[in-house]
Amino acid sequence: MRSAQGRGPTLEEAVDAALIELGESRRNVDVRVLSEGPEETVVEVTVGPAEGSAVAVGDGAPADPEAEQARVMLQDLLTKMGIRASVALRPSDGPVQLDVTGRELGLLIGWRGETLRALQAVANMLVARDLGERRVIVDVERYRQRREHTVREIAYRAARQVKMTGDPITLDAMQPFERRAIHLALEEDPAVLTNSIGEEPNRRIVVSPRSDES
């Protein structure tokens, strides 16, 4: 069998790099994630019968059988939905983190990630019986990563405006992971405070000037 390694800043780009070298399409290959870091992902792509197949992580038996079980369940769900995509495990010591990659998966993300949020809820329901309280986090084409970057920029702009005007700013309603990114982005800023108000799904963050008493 022919194989090639691909490198890129994201899983998708690393796979594409290997596919270009092999001259193959995604549906004809198996993908194995060799390493994954904040700046570079390395994969090994092997030509073989892989339409709808899963992405393997590392060599041999999975290091985390529960996480592998969750990955297989999500892969089966997507296959039954008629969605051609691959599910990979992202190394994690906490929640099971699953990355979904493929072509034209915008429908799985939805407006502001609402469909992705629903997919994650279904994934958690499917694995709850076997994994108990262990949480499953699903990402599609690195949407969560890209969205976290976007909301951090929103946080920094809001903080600058609060410092200029002295008035608090209430941001649009956001999902929990987005609000967490806002809090983390501004937690070390000595001039502003962040707090969440409202109820889901309309819970929002307020960025306020930090008073001397605070």
- Residue 2 region, left (φ>0) first, then alpha (ψ -120 to 50), else beta? beta
Take residue 35 and report the two structure tokens written for it. Answer: 């390493």
CA distance 203 to 173: 5
pTM for this model (two decimals): 0.59
CA distance 52 to 87: 9
Give residue 81's Cα distance to chain centre: 20
Query: pLDDT tens digits, residue range 134-158?
Result: 788 999 988 888 888 889 999 999 9
Domain boundary residue among 90, 119, 141?
141
**DSSP type of residue 142:** T
Q: Could you give the 3-state DSSP secondary structure of residue 207?
A: strand
- Are 121 and 93 in the same domain? yes
Element (H, E) at 87: strand 85-90
- Are 47 and 92 in the same domain? no
- CATH number reported for the structural domain that contains residue 82 in this entry: 3.30.300.20
The pLDDT of residue 170: 95
- Are 34 and 90 in the same domain? no
Residue 34, φ and ψ in degrees, nearest 5: -85, -40
Take residue 36 and report the two structure tokens written for it. Answer: 């994954």
- Are 159 and 179 in the same domain? yes
Q: List the domain range (segments joined by +) for residue 122.
A: 58-141
Per-residue tens of pLDDT for the chain, all 214 residues: 678 888 887 777 777 777 777 776 665 667 777 877 667 788 888 876 444 444 444 444 456 788 888 888 899 999 888 888 888 888 777 788 898 988 778 888 888 788 898 998 898 888 887 777 778 899 998 888 888 888 999 999 999 999 999 999 999 999 888 999 999 999 989 999 999 999 887 899 999 998 754 4
Take residue 129 and report the two structure tokens written for it. Answer: 């019986």
Domain total for the chain? 3
- Are 137 and 149 in the same domain? no
- Are 125 and 153 in the same domain? no
Residues 6+ apart with CB under 8 A from 154: 171, 182
Sign of CA dihedral 112, 114, 119, 123: positive
Residue 77, φ and ψ in degrees, nearest 5: -60, -45
DSSP 89-115: EEP-SSSEEEEEEESS-HHHH-GGGHH
- Are 189 and 201 in the same domain? yes
The pLDDT of residue 57: 45
